[in-house]
């Protein structure tokens, strides 16, 4: 199998490091995002204790009776807040739904006027008082880490360091808690039924807290599936389609999937909590002039982030 460049980087080298450490971080993340679209990040600001409580709380929610979870599902919100049941979401080009259920928490706007249509309230889980507190804390910490990573990316792209700030502060980011449920009758599954079909993320970057079990794989340039394993409490960060469009394919939104476990582990659960860092809907995703040249002609139509998100939510079955 070909060597895959997924480096382990220390975020403190960028946020608190020397000039040389900051420069090295910028080059390392840029090179990895140019080649594979993935890195793992240490010292991201989340403690082991907070991550442990997050997974305990998430498990407690998905352990609730189905009729309890169902009262937190709001189809009119296209899965952007609250609970989404099994069988709803699929990969863009798949006809078979993923083997998962999930909860999504969105932005809490501070210091700006906003529309409830664009930013609906996050529902509170009455049965689990800590659920809203813990997911809210995780949301803010991952948002802060993501903003710092985008500063490094902007520097790599030779933009002003704070280029993304006005777009992502009070942006449309989503924290998703996923339960890949036990597969009780694997022989009854459709041939293409998997925990998460091969897909690319919609957003600018995704920050993933290490999952409770293996299964995440990335498609390499050679067409091989390469397993991603974060060390300990590291987070995995990858490029989304919005950043790929903005950079005219300079930074790669790599195809990835979550495969089913080996047969002896089919009846076990897997939990995962990604943070999808989205900008405000009005941000232009028109490719940067600096990323367009004779060798790299403009590859995409001009979209706003809101237009692109709407299109993709329809493709994956969350919006009608």
Alpha helices for 157-260 (secondary structure H): 165-168, 241-246
Counting residues of the chain whose pLDDT is more than 70, the rounded percentage is: 97
Residue 1 banded pLDDT, cuts 50, 70, 90: very low
**Alpha carbon 142 to chain centroid, angstroms:** 11
- Do 146 and 205 touch, CB atoms closer than 8 A? yes
- For residues 5 and 291, the model is more confident at 291
Any idea where the domains of the chain sit in the sequence? 8-315
Q: Given a cut of 60, is residue 280 above it in pLDDT? A: yes
Distance CA 282, CA 197 (A): 29
Nearest CA-CA partner of 285 in 320, 262, 311, 266: 311
- Do 145 and 207 touch, CB atoms closer than 8 A? yes
Distance CA 46, CA 1 (A): 33
- Beta-strand ranges (E) seen in 216-280 are 216-219, 225-227, 235-239, 256-258, 270-277
Q: Is 307 in a helix, a strand, or coil? A: helix
CB atoms within 10 A of CB 78: 18
Over residues 92-108, the mean pLDDT reads 89
Q: Any idea how long the chain is?
A: 320
Q: Given a cut of 60, is residue 65 above it in pLDDT? A: yes
Domain covering 8-315 assigned CATH 2.40.160.20 in the classification: no
Counting residues of the chain whose pLDDT is more than 90, the rounded percentage is: 66
The structure's pTM equals 0.93
DSSP label at residue 284: B
**Alpha carbon 92 to chain centroid, angstroms:** 15
Q: Given a cut of 60, is residue 281 above it in pLDDT? A: yes
Residue 197 banded pLDDT, cuts 50, 70, 90: confident
Q: Which residue has 């982030």 as its token pair? A: 305
92-106, 144-158, 219-233, 285-299: range with lowest mean pLDDT: 219-233
User: pLDDT by residue (tens digit) across 114-138?
Assistant: 878 788 999 999 999 999 999 999 9
Give the pLDDT confidence score for residue 313 in this predicted structure: 85
Q: Given a cut of 80, is residue 317 above it in pLDDT? A: no
- Do 304 and 282 touch, CB atoms closer than 8 A? yes
User: What is the SS3 string spanning 20-38?
Assistant: HHHHHHHHHHHHHHHHCCE
Give the pLDDT confidence score for residue 161 in this predicted structure: 98
């Amino acid at each position: 199998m070909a060597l895959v460049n997924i480096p382990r980087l220390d975020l403190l080298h960028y946020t608190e490091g020397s000039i040389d450490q900051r420069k090295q971080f910028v080059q390392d993340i840029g090179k990895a995002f140019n080649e594979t679209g993935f890195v793992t990040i240490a010292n991201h600001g989340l403690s082991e204790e907070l991550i442990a409580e997050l997974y305990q709380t998430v498990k407690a929610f998905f352990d609730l009776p189905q009729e309890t979870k169902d009262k937190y599902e709001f189809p009119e919100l296209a899965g952007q807040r609250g609970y989404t049941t099994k069988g709803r979401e699929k990969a863009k080009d798949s006809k078979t739904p993923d083997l998962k259920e999930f909860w999504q928490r969105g932005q809490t706007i501070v210091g700006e006027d906003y529309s409830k249509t664009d930013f609906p309230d996050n529902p509170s889980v009455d049965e689990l008082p800590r659920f809203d507190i813990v997911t809210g804390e995780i949301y803010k910490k991952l948002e802060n880490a993501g903003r710092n990573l985008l500063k490094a990316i902007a520097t790599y792209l030779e933009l002003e360091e704070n280029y993304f700030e006005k777009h992502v502060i009070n942006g449309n980011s989503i924290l998703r808690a996923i339960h890949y449920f036990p597969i009780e009758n694997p022989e009854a599954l459709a041939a293409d039924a998997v925990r998460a079909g091969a897909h690319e993320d919609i957003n600018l970057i995704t920050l993933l807290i290490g999952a409770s079990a293996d299964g995440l794989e990335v498609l390499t340039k050679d067409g091989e599936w390469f397993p991603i394993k974060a060390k300990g409490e590291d987070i995995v960060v990858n490029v989304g389609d919005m950043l790929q469009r903005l950079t005219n394919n300079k930074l790669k939104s790599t195809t990835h999937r979550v495969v089913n476990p080996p047969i002896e582990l089919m009846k076990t659960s897997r939990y995962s909590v990604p943070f999808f860092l989205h900008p405000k809907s009005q941000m232009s995703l028109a490719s940067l002039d600096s990323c367009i040249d004779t060798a790299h002609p403009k590859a995409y139509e001009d979209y706003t982030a809101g237009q692109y998100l709407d299109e993709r939510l329809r493709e994956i079955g969350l919006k009608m």
